[in-house]
Each structure stands twice: as C-alpha cells, then as structure tokens.
C-alpha cells in the first residue's frame, strides 16, 4: 500500500509538472540548472573543468577528464580547506566554492576550465588558458542563449548554466565501478558468449549508472538482482548479479548514481558485475564505450557500437 500511495503521489506530481509546463507557469523560467554531481569513475568535460578548477586552487592534478583517485584526493583536500563535508564527491556544496570568476584578459587553469565547458556546448575553443576575444565572444553567445546578461564574464551563474546542462554531447558518463577499482584492460575483456562485459568485482562493491535514464529493478533466475536502465541516449543498459538493490523501480538516475551493490545472484558462478548495452534491437559491445569513458574521452554513439568482436 505504501508503494501504491507513493506511486500515486509521483503520478500527481508528474501531472502537476506537466500542467504547469503546458500553462507556462513553471516556478522560475530562468532558474539555474542543478550543479552536476561527480565522483570517482565519472568522466567527461565537466570532470575536466573540475580538475582545472582544482588546479587553480593549488591542487596539482592532471586535467584528463577522468575522475580517479588523484582527483578524489584533491577534492577531499579542497573540501577540508573550505570546511565542507570531505566526501570526495563534487556536487551542490562543492561547486560554488570551486568555480572562479574569469573574464577577458585573465589566464590560467580557471580559464582553461571555462573553455572546457564552453566547448561542451559546441564552441570549439582552444583550451589554452588564455581568455581572449574568442573566449569572450563564446561566453557572450552562451549567455544570451541562456537568457543571462551577455557580459562575457564567466561568474557563478554562468558557471552553473555551463556545468548544469549537457550541451551537444548530452553530458557526462560514469564508469559502472569506481575508476581505481579496475584497470582499463578489465573494461576491454571479451565476454564468454554474446556481446556483454563481465567485471570481476567482489560482493558489496557499489555499482553506478553509466548514463542518465530510468532504472527498473530486475529479479529473475538469469540476471539475479539487477537493473534495467532505459537511458536517455536510447539504449537499454542491464546490470546483473547484485547482492542488493539500491534504488526503487522507476527511479530517474544520472551518470554515477549508485544503483546497488554487486554480488553473485542469478546465473553466476562467482561474484562479478555483468553489463549489457542494447541499442537498435541488438546487443552491443560495451568495451569501446566503457574504455572511452575510462580514458575521459567522448564515447562513440551507442548505436555505432559493434555487435561482434567482443566475444572470446
Ligand atoms: Zn556475463
């Protein structure tokens, strides 16, 4: 009964939101988007920007777009220096202290951070840390597109719009397991029968959503406890053999959201995480996709992933 009333409430809330949108009185039309949340295993331009910003605060880390243990340690040190909760996760509390206002004439890592996120929105700037006329014009163009004052200064509000929205690439991705837990080779290992991937992790390891979408629980003989995530990119991701579910069915998850804990349930001969990516009606090889995320580069489109070549 609790579940039913919860669903009813969610349905009502969704209806209200839909009505508000159709009548055009959303609470704040110009409200800033939510800050992204990222942690060990996340990758993409927002991670690269966070790394440049950490550098600008004196933390000597690589700005490679892949959130690993070095970035996590730097994040904790930064959080401690600010009196924030030192959880190593960059979210709504950490971002406002991390961003640095930059404008034409400035140079350095904070400028490189701004250029990195402007490029996420398609501006194609050289990430050279020099805030010249090209970067200023990109900033003004982005601001006017967002209904912000087009002054070309990247301040807190512009940062939040730059970071909180996906841009053309659709936002960041996450590895399914913390980046330091497995090597790159693990993400390239062939599967034993059909296109899929088995990751050797012990029972109780946190498992994260790779891309944003809606998660539904699985509980059957084959997958055991797991999740089917209908992703916003059109693919369906399957995660199998968990020891515990972490989120309810119908939960909207972002990349890096914890789904549950890995385990050995279902048709499994030892603790591991099984992952499938289904796109265009076919099982795709997750290997090139996850290795790109591991590398901090943009993964190929899910529909372009191969359907063979990842079976041993
Ligand atoms: Zn498998």
254 alpha carbon to ligand 1 midpoint, in Å?
Answer: 24
Q: Let me know: does 62 contact 70? Beta carbons within 8 Å.
A: yes
Integer Cα distance of 162 and 164 in angstroms: 6
274 alpha carbon to ligand 1 midpoint, in Å?
Answer: 5
191 alpha carbon to ligand 1 midpoint, in Å?
Answer: 6
The 10s digit of each residue's pLDDT in 21-77 is 333 333 333 577 888 888 888 888 889 999 999 999 999 999 988 899 999 999 999
Say how many Å lie between the first and final Cα of the chain, rounded.
47
Three-state DSSP at 195 gives coil
202 alpha carbon to ligand 1 midpoint, in Å?
Answer: 15
Task: Give pLDDT, residue 21.
Answer: 38
305 alpha carbon to ligand 1 midpoint, in Å?
Answer: 18
276 alpha carbon to ligand 1 midpoint, in Å?
Answer: 8
> What backbone torsions phi and psi does residue 263 show, to the nearest 5 degrees?
-170, -145
240 alpha carbon to ligand 1 midpoint, in Å?
Answer: 8
Q: Let me know: does 267 contact 222? Beta carbons within 8 Å.
A: yes
Core vs surface per residue 197-206: b (16+ CB within 10 A) or e: bbbebebebb
> What backbone torsions phi and psi does residue 75 show, to the nearest 5 degrees?
-65, -45
* Domains of the chain with bracketed CATH: 42-164 (1.10.101.10), 175-304 (2.70.70.10)
186 alpha carbon to ligand 1 midpoint, in Å?
Answer: 13
190 alpha carbon to ligand 1 midpoint, in Å?
Answer: 10
Task: Give pLDDT, residue 24.
Answer: 37
Task: Give pLDDT, residue 30.
Answer: 54
Task: For the chain, list residues with pLDDT below 70.
Answer: 1-30, 166-171
Q: What mean pLDDT value characterizes the chain?
A: 87
287 alpha carbon to ligand 1 midpoint, in Å?
Answer: 13
Nearest to 245 by CA among 231, 276, 266: 266
Tokens of 1: 């009964």
Nearest to 170 by CA among 49, 22, 302: 302
275 alpha carbon to ligand 1 midpoint, in Å?
Answer: 7
205 alpha carbon to ligand 1 midpoint, in Å?
Answer: 17
Task: Give the DSSP letter string of 15-26.
Answer: HHHHHHHHHT--
172 CB neighbour count, 10 Å cutoff: 26
Give Cα 273 distance to the centre of its chain: 19
Q: Let me know: does 208 contact 258? Beta carbons within 8 Å.
A: yes
Task: Give pLDDT, residue 258.
Answer: 84
């Amino acid at each position: 009964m609790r579940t039913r009333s919860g669903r009813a409430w969610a349905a009502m809330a969704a209806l209200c939101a839909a009505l508000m949108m159709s009548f055009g009185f959303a609470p704040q039309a110009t409200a800033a988007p939510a800050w992204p949340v990222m942690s060990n295993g996340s990758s993409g331009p927002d991670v690269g920007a966070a790394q440049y910003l950490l550098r600008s605060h004196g933390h000597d880390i690589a700005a490679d777009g892949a959130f690993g243990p070095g970035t996590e340690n730097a994040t904790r040190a930064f959080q401690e220096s600010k009196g924030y909760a030192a959880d190593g996760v960059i979210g709504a509390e950490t971002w406002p202290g991390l961003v640095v206002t930059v404008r034409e004439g400035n140079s350095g890592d904070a400028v490189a951070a701004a250029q990195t996120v402007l490029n996420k929105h398609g501006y194609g700037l050289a990430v050279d840390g020099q805030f010249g006329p090209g970067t200023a014009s990109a900033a003004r163009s982005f601001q006017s597109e967002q209904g912000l004052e087009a002054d070309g200064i990247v301040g807190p509000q512009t940062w939040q719009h730059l970071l909180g929205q996906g841009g053309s690439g659709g936002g960041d991705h996450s590895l399914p397991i913390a980046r330091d837990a497995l090597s790159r080779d693990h993400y390239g290992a062939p599967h034993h029968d059909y296109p899929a991937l088995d990751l050797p992790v012990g029972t109780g390891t946190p498992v994260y959503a790779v891309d944003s979408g809606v998660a539904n629980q699985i509980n059957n003989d084959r997958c055991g406890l797991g999740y089917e995530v209908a992703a916003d990119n059109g693919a369906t991701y399957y995660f199998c053999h968990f020891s515990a579910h972490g989120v309810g069915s119908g939960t909207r998850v972002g990349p890096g959201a914890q789904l549950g804990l890995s385990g050995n349930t279902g048709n499994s001969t030892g603790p591991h995480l099984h992952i499938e990516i289904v796109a265009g009606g076919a099982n795709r090889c997750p290997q090139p996709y996850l290795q790109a995320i591991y590398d901090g580069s943009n993964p190929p489109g899910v529909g372009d992933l191969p359907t063979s070549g990842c079976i041993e």
